[in-house]
Structure 1
């Protein structure tokens, strides 16, 4: 506690020092530090971000109201070299004394050290120089503001500014804008020289951005240029570019109105040092030539193997290694069809998605065989990747189970396995790690280990006996994945062997949309060490042991007569069996506790067999990594065991003593599960982002099951969930997380983050996480753990806190400190802020943002 207080005091002291810095320290006499920009539009203040972005000068950034980076800059010595030399210029004897016990070279080098020069360079680089009001930049800002509103249709805009002195070296700039009335688009006509283009334009005129009565916007004219260019180039007009679209805008004798004439002249080109014009042509594809083993270093004229397949010509410098259909299925450019940019792009995407070629090159040339010169030859150059590629990686890992781990993963990729562009991936993994939350009687550092192997075979098509082209056309880039895997864990809980199998279809219905249908998703989990249960789940053992000390009378169940602790597993098993069979009579409350402990033990030690079918759909508006205004929606529905039950009923299979069906002497799981995940980001400018996430998931057991397998259940807490609680330590409901690794089959979670820049690549965030898990429609009867309706929402836990993140470009290192703000497990009067302190806080480490 003393160390924590010392650290807090140190941070406060640093904050006071920085806050006390003179912000005007680097402001020359007669100059002023820019404190604030104010923009008034038609006598009303505006906070429009786009308007403020027109200004050349903006005040120094603030952090919680403090000009933190400016103060850091002011702490720096801007000329440390001169200052260091001045020490000796003013006092030569001091230099002589230093040289006596340090060489002259070492004394000179001392001036380049971190404490003299490095720290000042750091402060200058991390800090921010003062923004000093510059009248020339202010005039440029006025001009940009004028053009900004001109582009919005205000042709008579007037601008002015005023400098207000708020202190001898501080000033505020007030910009005044009077827009006048905006101009509206009046008549809109077209002058298109090429009749074919005029006809094509008229047939798609309803999609135009230019409409009578709409206010003039420069961006609409640019959008219309791009729309027309896209329309024409997707309909055969190969040589068309947006620059061929021009406008004649007439405002003469018009009051706040403009007549627009959209002009597209004929195609012009240079031939023998002279410019010629002719009507635009619509080009058709006369041939599609595919070079399957192109190399920039090879002689493209030497072709040793070729074939034609469905109007596609395939060429190879060596023996052709691909079945023609494997490649032609990825080509959307067709012989006899019109040239189209969108088909070129789609072909490029599909070929790249095959993962057997480097990025493809598609070129067009005019077919000289066509006397009308209206034909193009499409040439597709494919550079094969190596058939075999090896890879290996070593990673430091962190998860909800492991505090840290070291993993090694070798892999082998084999491309074009069956000569139809299939890809086989064989990978292995080994991991050793440490977890303080798991049973570790020998106190080993690396007490967790795992190894496994996976095989994945990817087909760039839908593998099914009938055609799916009408439902899932090849433009959706469909694929089929077949995967099998095996993993073995030791010292993780009960130790497990995990066998998996997958047969999955994937496709993209639209850009930024993905769909996945798992026809079969098989998982078999076998517990290797069920006798270790009470060593792992210590809370359950303590509850059982406390009751055993009171009611157990059999000495063979005790470790010794004094402590009377139940022996694992002979004592725990024997005492539980005596209670449940009536050999030992307990009060109703204690009996219910023993029954609940045993039911959970049996559920967690039983082997699981899951045969599931699921459909997953996701949609996002995120365009690239720098896009901070987007949403992501993902939903999934999964059904397990239904097919097996249909088969069991149809074959009139007999049930076991529990009334359930077995497969290979193993009860299979049967449930229905659905999830909804929504993430929304808002870019608030200046590297400030507001991010929100909501999640709802429920899994309902039925038929052959009265509970959900542990691997398919939900937990709460952790670095990507409610960060004020450790993983598995929140819920269910208001039960107070009485078990180890608490889980349930219903989850609700909502999180929000305000992210901002601190210094350079160091980011900060304030966050709030609300959520919990509950049991519903299963065999759990505890009222505190079950969801009984809207009134159960009072058990939503709330955690708040702050975090620091460092952006390394390729990933983000994240630390979040969460505080329990509302804990539903506490008694009335102590739910709010009772544990809001550093002693009950949780420090989370994570890689990348939580959502």
Structure 2
């Protein structure tokens, strides 16, 4: 098959009409077809797409489908013909439509015998109906209205209502191209009205994680003890709920708090679905089907509900990682998360997270541990409660999502070869809740951080000799702070969809203000730099603001265009002359500006050649010591434009997608610093000091997660000046080989210049 051509169809319908051509008569994706020829072994392996063969029966079927589609859209007289052109054993299908006039609705009326249903429908109709006089006679709109009426009834107690009760009578006047429509809602056979139901009692049953009421080992053990296998914890919670737990691991409050239909409530399908959704979001249950209902034996129109739940395994372990490659440098980031679900039988989750990041530099010929440039080890413990824990009595905000209270503690060890070793401890209390299905809030009222840096004596001496006191102050001191953070997100629930939408996340981080007030009230002593101390330690005082704005545009199917803009600023004040190490911004990395390694971009137009000639041993040593650390700033602006598209529908059991992207931005210093010449933010120089990277990537979508491989190239490098910044076009012939530019750079900067950066990770970059 070569091409498909549609003629005579309105533009607004042509793309949809193309979908009515049978899949086996549509052109192959070129890449899918080549993979089939190369790897499938003539269909023995399920890889790629087999060549699609012309079939006249399927062509006729496609013609009828397109014709029926147009008629359903209001072109009642539409006719479609087809023609086939053959050239070099490839076929072109041409479908030609004669749409005829568009029929419109002239008159609409309803016929509803049940007075209560009639009043309800006429009250709600304006909120959902697509069927209006003057609009196109569209059978899809009739089907939409029919479904909306069904949902309306199910939200208002009509448990026994079926779609079959809703029918349409319509009469088309061909000469006038109009249609008259009557919508009919019939009563149940033999009854004068539809019954409305209320909720009665609820039975909650929790099975074992294998879906059974017992397992074989337990059964043998219990029989030996003269006990009954499958004995459950059974509790009558109150006059409404009865709780049966065969796993013997849950308290009733873990479930009862997220059941949104109570005794005496009118049956509501939305509340039924909400119960299922919230119980699933607790992340402790594997299978949560919708509640089932049984009518009570009397004639009171009441429903007893039953909820059967299968829990997840009590303990799980997950490993994640990403790898980077760039010339003689390589690195990895490996994480392991151990999860204990339902720690205290109330759906609490305990997480132990271990993370190890290492960056190697083999460019000097070093191997093994001697090639390690820096290491970062983190141990984190999170205890997550699925509710708000507070001395104040807040109503449970579970309508749009499960709220959480998280107690967190993280210990970090960071080592930079020849420069510094740092340790930090962070303890925090965090609340998160959903205001609506689109709006999420995260509040950390208490965040206490302690950090200590031990600077290498040789590095300290060199830095002081060159008057680089800010580095000594930044990395070689003890400091703590107490602060608060708040984050607001919009449309986070849409991030893994293919729709058109905007996403926003804004974060405010403020620290040290309470401590500053306390030291002034207590008149605590100052250190040698004039800073207030508390318990003999200085503390940081700052405000930090960061936003992440994204626009996702669907271009049809799974093709997406994504634009991201993420600025941020951190301002030290009061007891601090500069931000602490952990609060600065850094450029580069797999989720940032991908053509640069993490921490190797900026600030501004800062060029590491300022350390002096590379042939100076003293200068070269300082270069090596500060590598991957000295390029930070208090201001960040990052932007990305990425086009995502499908490549192969079946690639060894996964979907293979592609991406083309451009990243731009940098970090800057807030004020001029001798340590970072040309690194200060200046509006008039913002483009000159902006980095630009371009690249392409592959995404292997396995359904439950995505493997990602990105190849990014430096396009505009702000460490140079004028036209020399456009390194990609000016030195294109040196992308993959050495030349005069790379030789000069290595002589001046003491390190190789790498155009390309490979990033391998799990998940999309944004």
- 2:644 partner SS: strand
Contact 1:690 1:755 (8 Å CA) reproduced = yes
The C-alpha deviation readout for 1:175-218, integer Å capped at 9, x for no partner, is 32232221222222211222221122122122122222222333
Contact 1:732/1:786 (CA < 8 Å) preserved in 2?
Answer: yes
Per the TM alignment, residue 708 of structure 1 is displaced from its structure 2 partner at its CA by 2.1
Alignment equivalent of 1:341, drawn from 269, 277, 285 = 269
The equivalent position to 2:697 in structure 1, one of 763, 781, 803, is: 803
Q: Distance in 2 between matches of 1:410 and 1:764?
A: 29
Cα deviation per residue 1:769-801 (whole Å; 9 max; x = unaligned)? Answer: 111111226867966212222542332221112
SS at structure 1 position matched to 2:537: coil
Per-residue deviation, 1:283: 0.8
CA distance, structure 2, for counterparts of residue 249 and residue 206 of structure 1: 20
| Structure 2 Cα separation of the partners of residues 396 and 326 of structure 1 | 33
Unaligned runs of 5+ in 2: 215-227, 610-625, 738-753
The question of whether the paired residues in 1 share the 8 Å contact of 2:323 and 2:333 is answered with no
Q: Is 1:572 matched with 2:462?
A: yes
Between 237-246 and 345-354, the greater mean CA deviation after superposition: 345-354
* Cα distance, 1:731–1:613 mapped onto 2, change above 3 Å: same
Q: SS where residue 121 of structure 2 aligns?
A: helix
Mapping of residues 245-256 of structure 1, within 5 Å:
245-252=166-173, 255-256=176-177
Distance 1:209 1:158 in 2: 26
For the structure 1 residues 320 and 258, does the alpha-carbon distance in structure 2 shift closer, same or farther, using more than 3 Å as the test?
same
Contact 2:205 2:308 in 1 (8 A): yes
After TM superposition, the structure 1 stretch with the greater mean CA deviation from structure 2, 126-135 or 495-504, is: 126-135
User: How has the CA–CA distance of structure 1 residues 215 and 659 changed in structure 2, closer, same or farther, with 3 Å as cutoff?
Assistant: farther
Q: 1:659 to 1:410 in 2, by over 3 A?
A: same
- 8 Å CA contact retained: 2:356, 2:377: yes
5+ long unaligned stretches in structure 1: 1-33, 77-117, 269-275, 533-567, 577-593
Q: How many residues align?
A: 700
Q: Structure 1 pair 615/439, CA: closer, same or farther in 2 (3 Å)?
A: farther
Residue 55 of structure 1: CA displacement? 2.1
Deviates more, 1:236-245 or 1:433-442: 433-442
Match of 1:366 among 289, 295, 305: 295
Partner in structure 1 of residue 278 of structure 2: 350
Structure 1-normalised TM-score?
A: 0.73
- Which deviates more from structure 2 when the two are superposed, residues 406-415 or residues 762-771? 406-415
How large is the RMSD of aligned CA atoms in angstroms? 3.8
Which of residues 55, 65, 74 in structure 2 aligns to 1:144? 65
**Are 1:436 and 2:361 counterparts?**
yes
Q: In the alignment, is the contact (CA less than 8 A) between 1:426 and 1:453 conserved in 2?
A: no
Does the alignment pair 1:745 with 2:671?
Answer: no
* Contact 1:765/1:802 (<8 A) preserved: yes
2:150 is matched with which residue? 229
Task: Tell me the equivalent position of 1:39.
Answer: 6
Match in the other structure for 1:768: 662
**What do residues 646-677 of structure 1 show as CA deviations (whole Å, max 9, x unaligned)?**
33344444544434322333322222222222
* Partner Cα separation in structure 1 for residue 413 and residue 691 of structure 2: 35
Maintained 8 Å contact 1:731/1:737: no
CA distance in 1, matches of 2:250, 2:274: 21
Q: Which has the higher contact order (CA 8 A, sep 6+)?
A: 2
In the other structure, the counterpart of 1:755 is 644
Per the alignment, residue 305 of structure 2 pairs with 378
Q: Which residue of 1 aligns with 2:516?
A: 645
Q: CA deviation at 1:155?
A: 0.9
Tell me how far apart the structure 2 counterparts of residues 237 and 777 of structure 1 sit (CA, whole Å).
67
Q: Using the alignment, how far apart are the partners of 2:668 and 2:333 within structure 1?
A: 34
Tell me the CA shift for residue 427 of structure 1: 2.1
Question: Post-superposition shift, 1:145?
Answer: 1.7
Q: CA deviation at 1:261?
A: 1.3
Shift of 1:499: 0.9
Distance 1:438 1:329 in 2: 59
Q: Who is 1:486 aligned against?
A: 411
Q: Does 1:52 align with 2:10?
A: no
Q: 1:70 to 1:572 in 2, by over 3 A?
A: closer
Structure with the larger strand share: 2
Alignment check: 8 A CA contact 1:36 1:58 kept:
no
Secondary structure at 2:196 match in 1: coil
The 8 Å contact of residues 362 and 371 in structure 2, kept in 1 or not, is answered as: no
TM-fit CA distance, 1:806: 3.6
3-state SS of paired residue (2:518): helix
Question: What does 1:190-229 correspond to in 2, within 5 Å?
Answer: 190-207=110-127, 208-229=129-150
Matches of 1:707 and 1:400, distance apart in 2: 33
* 1:687-702 pair list within 5 angstroms: 688-702=559-573
Aligned to 2:213: 297
* Structure 1 residue aligned with 2:224: none
The equivalent residue for 2:740 is none
Contact 1:185–1:213 (CA under 8 A) maintained in structure 2: yes
2 CA distance for matches of 1:724 and 1:319? 51
| Residue pair 1:622, 1:631 contacting (<8 A) in 2 also | no
1:424-479 deviation per Cα after TM superposition (whole angstroms, max 9, x unaligned):
51526374845228999886268466655433222222122223229x46654322
Q: Is the 8 A contact 2:498 2:558 kept in 1?
A: no
Quote the residue 2:199 is aligned against. 285
Q: Which residue does 1:105 correspond to in 2?
A: none
